[in-house]
Amino acid sequence: MRTATTLPDAASYGILSIMKHVNIGFIGGGNMAHSLIGGLIADGMEAEKLWVSDPSAERLQLLQQEFSLHGESDNAAVCQACDVIVLAVKPQMLKAVCEELAASIDAQLVISIAAGVRGEAICRWLGKDVPLVRVMPNTPSLVQAGASGLFANSHVSTAQHDIAESILRAVGLTVWLDDEKELDVVTALSGSGPAYFFYLMESMQAAAVDLGLTEKQARTLTLQTAFGAAKMALESSDDPATLRHKVTSPGGTTEAAINQFETDHLRDSIARALQTAATRADELAQLLGED
């Protein structure tokens, strides 16, 4: 059984010093792992502290060529070399991977970015209670603009908590949750959320074309408007409702459009959509966690 590295005290040394002592291993070298590795290296993480395993020799070669990290075809070898194990495989593969790694994981911090699989199931498949952080990232993490919800079980130390946050903050912002069930809401909100905004942008672009703009004109104006609105909301101290009121002149075009949204009960439709997504996330978690 592997002996975990003794980490410096978080309060005394700070997270930057802690990260210098940590080897991080990724089980699975797909897009999200690629994004996290790239973000960590951009943040100053040394490539020699990063490991990845993947069944695809071609994928490993690409990652090694791009990042000069350690590549392995053997998942257990990565676990034995690392203090943090990031489970970056498809949810349907997670049970088999965990059962394979059961003998190689002991005191390491385990971070699961596999959507929908509860911590109880992961620990059951590993055959023991381990320090575990479940993460619900989203696809904008691929461009270092992600939003991730995190939940730590009771075995996660203060230093491990900070390590998990540092890894995910390399690709965006993080929000810690007090209850694992809240990850279902995060899944419905930020996990699935990019698709909602893409749907709105798709609809606005199509409507603008119907009203006479070219595809290129409609796309350019739609995307820049979405970007600008998000940037304003991020940089302003006002909440979205206040920002909306500020750009809605009485009797003007914006008010006319908002009134149509209200007539069509768009707000209620959005609430129902998020509830439906959260319910489905819970259903999938139960299915994926079965033996």
What does the pLDDT look like over 237-271, one tens digit per residue? 999 999 999 999 999 999 999 999 999 999 999 99
Pair 67, 203 in one domain: no
Pair 139, 241 in one domain: no
4 located within any domain: no
Among 84, 88, 102, 76, residue whose Cα is nearest residue 25: 84
- Give residue 107's pLDDT band: very low, low, confident or very high (50, 70, 90): confident
Residue 233, pLDDT score = 97
Residue 123, pLDDT score = 96
* Domain of residue 238, residue span: 191-285
CATH of the domain at 269: 1.10.3730.10
Is a pLDDT exceeding 60 seen at residue 144?
Answer: yes
Pair 26, 170 in one domain: yes
- Give residue 290's pLDDT band: very low, low, confident or very high (50, 70, 90): confident
45 located within any domain: yes
Last residue in a domain, options 183, 205, 232:
183
Amino acid at 113: I
48: CB partners within 8 A, 6+ apart: 68, 69, 70
CATH of the domain at 103: 3.40.50.720
Give mean pLDDT, residues 42-50: 93
Pair 27, 164 in one domain: yes
Pair 177, 203 in one domain: no
Model confidence over 171-199: pLDDT tens digits?
999 999 999 999 999 999 999 999 999 99
Last residue in a domain, options 154, 183, 212:
183
Residue 33, pLDDT score = 95
Pair 174, 208 in one domain: no
